[in-house]
Amino acid sequence: MKNLKTRQWSTPLVIMAGVFVAVTGVLLFFHLGGAAREAHEWIGLAMAAGILFHVLNHWGTFTSYFSQKLGAGVMGGVALVAIGLVLGGALNSRPNPKGFVLDAFLSAPLAQVAGVLGKSSQELAAQLGAQGITVDGDALSIKQIARANAMEPFHLVEKLAR
């Protein structure tokens, strides 16, 4: 097996991914995100991989923390909080009102969407047509129009927002 020299890159990866996750986490907390959510999630995955290799490289040191009250307490506390968050999310699976409204908007006929946007369905069809999107009647939903034009519904909504 090829030596991956994980000791040389796992610690710097964990450090820099940690800084990145901290910065994007602060941006998300204050709702200043933009693309921060996606970056936070992907860099978080890279950080998880780095942590795995870091722990494997320092296994002896890692296991020694379990023999110390403070180290074991900190790791146990973090593990309990993580388990609580996972179980809490699974047990508290109320419907997301934003998702409900968004799905209703994307599933509504174009004529109804036009009313919500304060335009006529003809105006919306012309607006989309000017951007190369075929609209075969105002009875079709955003999802159906997007599918017929081989695009994601959110890309179609983005074009409506222009």
Name the residue ranges covered by the structural domains of the chain: 6-91, 97-160
Q: Measure the CA angle with vertex 33, ends 38 and 9; round to 5°.
A: 50
- Gyration radius from the chain CA atoms: 24
Q: Of 87 and 2, which is predicted with more confidence?
A: 87
Q: Is the pLDDT of residue 1 over 50?
A: no
- Assess contact for 33 and 18: CB atoms under 8 A: no
Query: Confidence class of residue 100 from pLDDT cuts 50, 70 and 90?
Result: confident
Residue 5, C-beta contacts closer than 8 angstroms, at least 6 positions apart = none
Q: What is the pLDDT of residue 19?
A: 94
How far lies 67's CA from each of 55, 60, 75, 125, 145, in Å? 16, 12, 12, 68, 61
Residue 67 half-sphere exposure toward CB, CA atoms < 13 A: 5
State the alpha helices, DSSP H only, in 58-109: 59-64, 69-91, 97-107
Q: What is the pLDDT of residue 3?
A: 60
How far lies 71's CA from each of 8, 65, 78, in Å? 25, 5, 11
Q: What is the pLDDT of residue 4?
A: 64
pLDDT digits (tens, 9 = 90+) for 37-89: 889 999 999 999 989 988 888 899 889 988 999 999 999 999 999 998 888 77
- Assess contact for 45 and 39: CB atoms under 8 A: no
